[in-house]
Amino acid sequence: MSEHQNARIVKPSKSCRPGTVLVKKHDRLVCRCPRQFSRYSCFAPLNRDKRWGNVYAACPGRRTLETSLCRIGWVEGVAALMVVAYHIGIFLKFPSGITVHGNIAVDFFLCLSGFVLAFAHERRLRENGGELARFLMSRVVRLWPSVLAGSVAALLVALGMAGGPGASSAYRAFALSLVVLPRLEGQNLVWFNGVYWSLFAEILVNLLWAVSVKALGNRGLITIAFVLSVAITWIAIDHNSVHFFYQSVDMIVPTTVRALASFCMGVVAYRIYEARRVKADVAPVILIAALLFPMIVPGVSWFGIPLSLFYILCANPMIVLLGALGQREQSRVLTWLGNISFPLYATHLPVVMLLSRLMAGQPLAERLIAAVGIVGAALIVAEVVRRFVEKPALAYLGARLLVPRRAVSVG
């Protein structure tokens, strides 16, 4: 309470309805319904009024989790577009070299996840043993609405496409997809929505990090990061690739190492950010160019592994760190792109699969034009899911399963 003692408490105005929460962010008072908290809101309660409920405030002049992550959310949207472009290139059968390195964006997602979760939960997981249950619940609340939407989209496409699986098989795969699990066919792992392997990897490394964070000091983190860097390099050379995923039983260990390496680099970026020893304000266009650079690199076999390792171990954590340190206001387009990033990632593959079938056998020029339309369709679906599925579900589940918590100050 002492760190918020200088914050000014303002009584609700007559226009505020009962139950309204007054939030003071950076000397600006905002009225919000308790069910409309942003998923990144992190305010400390100042007092409680019998009629109006809690009054929340963030420390003036101190950055909270919400304000810091708003600066890097748009980068996640750009990465989601990279994955969309990568899958369009596969299904429209673009010539080799076009969008071939777009799957590097998956490693960026895992790196960003490490940064965000360390920012939001690391201190509490160290100080409070009961925080682990709340952390796991927050992961379910955050991921499941879009997972549900992506699974439903995959089910509709599977039932509607000629040559797709039978209804009973599709429904069984749909049930597994709701809990982000694949079907096991012999030694192969078959994902109903092909991008969910990365969600499974993220949940797995999130859990491993959460149970070990108490013993993970800076030296321990650096040691683990070094070991994972050596391991991912050795595995990449041995398999002649970095971009393996949970496609079969023998790929479980390499894929887990890949996910752990990216996530660990995100946690390292957060520790550097927390130390406040780096100051920078890089223009968003430079970060976008750095993130999109792999998309314009030709698909030369000898260059793919070094490029991927460079992004996993160096470029991705640097982009996340510089994005979080930035002080510039983002455009509405970039902000919107960040807001729909996860719904776009979770739902785009069924859309791409369905619409790409309509362009089978067409000339390259027409397929390139169609690619623009497919991107537009994926963005529209993502916005619909965000507005009518994710946003209401986050508000409903968050209000009932999560409790507003104290502000996270970083300086």
Rounded-to-integer distance, Cα 51 and Cα 59, Å: 24
176 class by beta-carbon count within 10 Å (0-12 exposed, 13-18 middle, 19+ buried): middle
- The pLDDT tens digits of the residues spanning 72-96 come to 778 889 999 999 999 998 899 887 6
Query: Where is pLDDT greater, at 35 or 387?
Result: 387
Query: What is the tens place of the pLDDT at every residue in 330-367?
Result: 778 888 998 999 999 999 999 999 999 888 778 888 98
Query: What sign for the dihedral angle of Cα 124, 130, 132, 135?
Result: negative
What is the mean predicted confidence (pLDDT) over 312-324? 93
- Range among 324-333, 355-364, 377-386 with highest mean pLDDT value: 377-386
- Cβ–Cβ under 8 Å, residues 165 and 158: yes
Among 52-61, 136-145, 370-379, 383-392, which stretch is predicted with the lowest mean pLDDT?
Answer: 52-61
Q: What is the pLDDT of residue 37?
A: 35
Contact between 10 and 33 under an 8 Å Cβ cutoff? The reply is: no
Higher pLDDT, 371 or 64: 371
Residues contacting residue 166 through CB under 8 Å, at least 6 positions apart: none
Residue 16, amino acid: C
- Coil, helix or strand for 23? strand
Q: Residue 58's pLDDT is what?
A: 37
- Which band of pLDDT confidence, cut at 50, 70 and 90, is reported for residue 301? low
At 367 the three-state DSSP class reads helix
Q: What is the pLDDT of residue 403?
A: 52
d(CA 354, CA 347): 12
- C-alpha 8/C-alpha 31 separation (Å) is 15
Q: How many CA atoms lie within 13 A of 214 on its CB side?
A: 10
C-alpha span between 227 and 234 (Å, rounded) = 11
Looking at residue 70, what is its pLDDT? 63
Higher pLDDT, 54 or 168: 168
According to the model, what pLDDT value does residue 353 have?
Answer: 93
Q: Are the beta carbons of 37 and 398 closer than 8 angstroms?
A: yes
Structure tokens at 391: 């946003």
Query: Do 141 and 397 contact (CB within 8 A), yes or no?
Result: yes
- Residues 321 and 28: their CA atoms lie apart, in Å, by 27
